[in-house]
Structure 1
Amino acid sequence: MFFNSVAFSLFLPIVFFLYWFVFNKNKSTQNGLLIIASYYFYSCWDWRFLFLLVFSTFLDYFTGIQIEKSKSNNRRKFWFWLSVSVNLGFLGVFKYYDFFATSFAEMLGYFGFKVSPILLNVILPVGISFYTFHGLSYVIDIYLKRIKAEYNFVDYSLFVSYFPLLVAGPIERATHLLPQVKIKREFNLEKAKEGFLQIIWGLFKKVVIADNCAVYANNIFDHYTSMDSFSLVMGSVYFAFQIYGDFSGYSDIALGVSKLFGIDLLKNFNYPYFSRDIAEFWRRWHISLSSWFRDYVYIPLGGSKGSKIMQIRNVFIIFLLSGFWHGANWTYIIWGAINAFYFLPLLLRKTNRNNIEQKSIAFNFSSLKMICSILFTFGLTCIAWIFFRSESINMAIEYIKRITLFTFSLDSLKEQLSYIIIIILPYFILLEWNNRRKECPLFDRYSGIKAIITLIFILLFGQFDIQSKFIYFQF
């Protein structure tokens, strides 16, 4: 069941009505309903993998309690590593086994050994990367004595399986979500209005921005060998807007839906394409994943402390892990490595924390410099996205080579700049730029007018003729 589907448009009002008007007596009945709704939501994709979600929930719930109860360090370590190894084991088997088996066979082939690897060829369970990281953060925090174990199984189950974030995040923390789960929620009209507006904006990002840009991006990447340089550049730009509109659109819908139930989720995107350097970009892009790797990998490894060699090592570890987290393909790993190389000069010059605060535009040299920095950072990001989008490293390299030929034709200009793109992208960019200090561009005194205009754009330009999946469902 997708957020942009007819099924979800029927599912959400039913759950909303039951939640506030039937199961509203206490938090236990509210949580019980949300768990049932979440399991149904997940089973609509493939009920056979529901057992993985349930098993992961039982595992981390039980091991969390055992870690807290254990009186010796050895027993605490046993239960901790049991949870970590089983969670990562499931993730490894379903998501990475075929990749490692194929890569190993190819490596042996270079030395003259022919090997036919045994492949599982199983469907990747949707959301496994997200709910695995939910559980891991919970167990790690208990092990490090940052939080207490949760003894109420219903509350913990909802933390793991809460349907707005179940299949594509944001990756929640127990410190943030569990306290909200453990109390009865009262209906708040203002929060519900905010949720509705954020759903509209997320839907606009998905069906108007992402899905329209996808038509052009897919055509260019699928036929890149016959495209001129201008078209290839536009292909990388279209994909940049496609993946941003698609993923941040999902996050906006998730946050909006959750607000309808009186629960706040972590903000996952903060207008990343207005970043002035790569460090700022990664503070604004997929925030829940970036902060997860920062808190549970980067800082424990020493972070930006220690020798320069250690700092460089730590940067490459987290960026390569981030790339590998996205999928079992060398293109994702190279994408992570490219971003690590982008980040290194900032780290070595100690300027990676320079662009923390937002600045306003004025007619002066400083603003011109800032705009150039934003455009330069966006350009670097688009180059990296080529590897993320390509089916192989060779395809990405060939794609970039063809860009450097600097070919151009008026026909390609007409093909790649349709009236739809010329209308929707400026509206999208302008609205986000003017409201970049807000959680959602529709949150202000003109929200009604903006919402109406945005809905008109959705009706006029939304891609409803096909069931378009969200990109991050595959991760």
Structure 2
Amino acid sequence: MLFNSVDFAIFLPVVFIFYWFVTNRSLRLQNLLILFSSYFFMGCWDYRFLALILFSTVVDYTIGVLLSKEENKFKRKLLLWTSIGVNLGFLGFFKYYNFFLENFIDAFSLFGQKINVGLLHIILPVGISFYTFQTLSYTIDVYRKNLEPTKDFIVFSAFVSFFPQLVAGPIERASHLLPQFYKKRQFNYALAVDGVQQILWGLFKKVVIADGSASIVNEIFNNHDQYSGSTIVLGVIFFNFQLYGDFSGYSDIAIGVSRLFGFDLKKNFAFPYFARDIAEFYRRWHISLSTWFRDYLYIPLGGSRVSLGKRIRNVFIIYIVSGFWHGANWTFIVWGALNAIYYLPLMIFNINRSNLDIVAKDKYLPSLKDASLMVLTFALTGLARIFFRADNIQDAWDILVSVFDKSLFEFPYYSGLGLKYNVMVMVVVFFVVEWIGREYEYGLQCVRSVENRSLRWAGFTTLILIIFYFSVTVEAGQFIYFQF
């Protein structure tokens, strides 16, 4: 059930009505409704996924309860590693089994040995990478005694399967989201309105920017051998906007939907394309994943408190693991390694935290220095994302060679480009709104500064019409991060 589907447009109001008008007098009934709705939401993808998330929920709930009663260090570690083993075991099997098997076969073929082992036709359960990390953080926090384990199975199950962020995040920490299931929730009109506005902006990002850019990106990347370096660069630029519109659009919708039910989710994107270096970019991009790796992998490895050699090691581990989290393909590993290389000079010269403020705060335009740094950061992330988008290493390399060919200086062109002027205009509008709203929680929130109510409603109406127009004229696609 996609957020930008008719099914969800029916599902959400039905759940909303039952939540606030039928179960509103009982917190337990509200939590049960959320749990039932979340399992129904996931079951619409494939009912077989429900057994997997239920098993993971039972394991981590049980381990959390046992950890609260156990003081023996060895037994506590055994419980922790049971949770890690079960969760990463499922993730590894469904997501990486064929990858490791293929590379195992290839390795032996180098020595002239042929191994005939059949690959498995495995369906990747939607959201498994997200809810696995969410439940793992719960178990680890309970083990560290940073969090009291819940004794309410309904609450814990609703936390794990919470439908707005179940499929593609944000990856919520139990310390932030779990307590909200214990609090009596009152309908807040102002928050609900703000939630609807954020949903609207998320739909604009997905339907107009992401899906609108997708046709350009697909045409250029799928036929890269036919196009000039400048045209491929155009494809890379639009892929940057497609990826951002798709993933941050999902996060905006998830956060907005959660507000409708009285929940607060963590901000997952903070205008990353206005970042002035790679370190700032990843403080602003997929924040819930970046902070997860920081707290549960980077810091336990020693973080920045160790020698330079170990810090370099830690940076490569974080970025390569992050790349591998995104997909079972060497392209993602190379993408992660490239980002580590980008980051190293900032760390070595201790300037990785030099851009912590909002760029050009309280100003209309950035300085020439900030603008140049933003363009450079955008270009570096775009080059690395050639590996993110390519099907394999060879394709990525061929695309890179084409980019740096003398045809880079030709005017970008492909036969269908003239029909995409509306997408280009919308990308410019989107970029301007994001720039104006960069000091807010999300771009469209900047309408609060417009005092004229009629003008605000005219803007919202126009936005809805644009979304509707693109929804019927542009081929809709699944959210990219569903495959992760």
TM-score by length of 2: 0.95
Q: 1:365 to 1:257 in 2, by over 3 A?
A: closer
Q: 1:252 to 1:362 in 2, by over 3 A?
A: closer
Counterpart of 1:28? Answer: 28
Counterpart of 2:463? Answer: 454
Instruction: Give the drift of 1:318.
Output: 0.5
Counterpart of 2:122? Answer: 122
Counterpart of 1:420? Answer: 422
Given that 2:198 and 2:253 are in contact with CA atoms closer than 8 Å, whether structure 1 keeps it comes out as yes
Structure 2 counterpart of 1:76, one-letter code: R
SS in 2 for 1:183: coil
1:6-40 deviations in Å (ceiling 9; x for gaps): 00000000000000000111211110001000000
Residue 441 in structure 1 maps to residue 440 in structure 2:
no
Q: 1:413 to 1:91 in 2, by over 3 A?
A: closer
Q: 1:243 to 1:472 in 2, by over 3 A?
A: same
1:194-219 deviations in Å (ceiling 9; x for gaps): 01000000000000000010000000
Instruction: Give the drift of 1:365.
Output: 12
Unaligned runs of 5+ in 2: 451-455
Q: 1:363 to 1:50 in 2, by over 3 A?
A: closer
Map 1:145-184 onto structure 2 (within 5 A): 145-184=145-184
Q: Distance in 2 between matches of 1:351 and 1:232?
A: 32
Counterpart of 2:378? Answer: 378
Q: Distance in 1 between matches of 2:460 and 2:241?
A: 21
Q: 1:362 to 1:375 in 2, by over 3 A?
A: farther
Counterpart of 1:109? Answer: 109
Q: 1:112 to 1:164 in 2, by over 3 A?
A: same
1:275-307 deviations in Å (ceiling 9; x for gaps): 000000000000000000000000110111111
Q: 1:362 to 1:251 in 2, by over 3 A?
A: closer
Instruction: Give the drift of 1:450.
Output: 3.4
Given that 1:420 and 1:461 are in contact with CA atoms closer than 8 Å, whether structure 2 keeps it comes out as no
Counterpart of 1:190? Answer: 190
Residue 65 in structure 1 maps to residue 74 in structure 2:
no
Counterpart of 1:144? Answer: 144
Map 1:247-326 onto structure 2 (within 5 A): 247-326=247-326
Structure 1 counterpart of 2:270, one-letter code: N
Instruction: Give the drift of 1:434.
Output: 0.7
Given that 1:102 and 1:117 are in contact with CA atoms closer than 8 Å, whether structure 2 keeps it comes out as no
SS in 1 for 2:68: helix
Given that 1:442 and 1:451 are in contact with CA atoms closer than 8 Å, whether structure 2 keeps it comes out as no
Instruction: Give the drift of 1:364.
Output: 12
Q: Distance in 1 between matches of 2:473 and 2:164?
A: 21
Counterpart of 2:14? Answer: 14
Residue 470 in structure 1 maps to residue 479 in structure 2:
yes
Unaligned runs of 5+ in 1: none
Given that 2:324 and 2:333 are in contact with CA atoms closer than 8 Å, whether structure 1 keeps it comes out as yes
Instruction: Give the drift of 1:411.
Output: 7.2
Instruction: Give the drift of 1:230.
Output: 1.1
Structure 2 counterpart of 1:161, one-letter code: S
Give the paired residue count: 475
Q: Distance in 1 between matches of 2:238 and 2:19?
A: 40
Q: Distance in 2 between matches of 1:4 and 1:362?
A: 35
The 10-residue stretch of structure 1 (104-113 or 50-59) with the greater mean CA deviation from structure 2: 104-113
SS in 2 for 1:442: helix
Instruction: Give the drift of 1:467.
Output: 4.1
The 10-residue stretch of structure 1 (406-415 or 225-234) with the greater mean CA deviation from structure 2: 406-415
1:339-378 deviations in Å (ceiling 9; x for gaps): 0000000000000000000132799998100000000000
Counterpart of 1:54? Answer: 54
Instruction: Give the drift of 1:409.
Output: 4.9
SS in 2 for 1:45: coil
Q: 1:322 to 1:411 in 2, by over 3 A?
A: closer
Structure 2 counterpart of 1:452, one-letter code: T
SS in 1 for 2:136: helix
Q: Distance in 1 between matches of 2:97 and 2:381?
A: 29
Structure 2 counterpart of 1:439, one-letter code: E
Instruction: Give the drift of 1:471.
Output: 0.4
Counterpart of 2:453? Answer: none
Structure 2 counterpart of 1:426, one-letter code: V
Residue 214 in structure 1 maps to residue 223 in structure 2:
no
Q: Distance in 2 between matches of 1:277 and 1:394?
A: 28
Of the three residues 429, 432, 435, the one matched with 2:431 is: 429
Q: 1:441 to 1:348 in 2, by over 3 A?
A: same
Identity of matched residues, %: 50
Q: Distance in 2 between matches of 1:199 and 1:237?
A: 25
Given that 1:319 and 1:336 are in contact with CA atoms closer than 8 Å, whether structure 2 keeps it comes out as yes
Instruction: Give the drift of 1:465.
Output: 5.5
1:30-57 deviations in Å (ceiling 9; x for gaps): 1000100000000000001110010000
TM-score by length of 1: 0.97
Q: Distance in 2 between matches of 1:29 and 1:371?
A: 52
Structure 1 counterpart of 2:464, one-letter code: L
SS in 2 for 1:47: coil
Deviation >4 Å, runs of 4+: 361-366, 408-411
Structure 2 counterpart of 1:456, one-letter code: L
1:40-94 deviations in Å (ceiling 9; x for gaps): 0000000011100100000000001111111211111111111110111011111
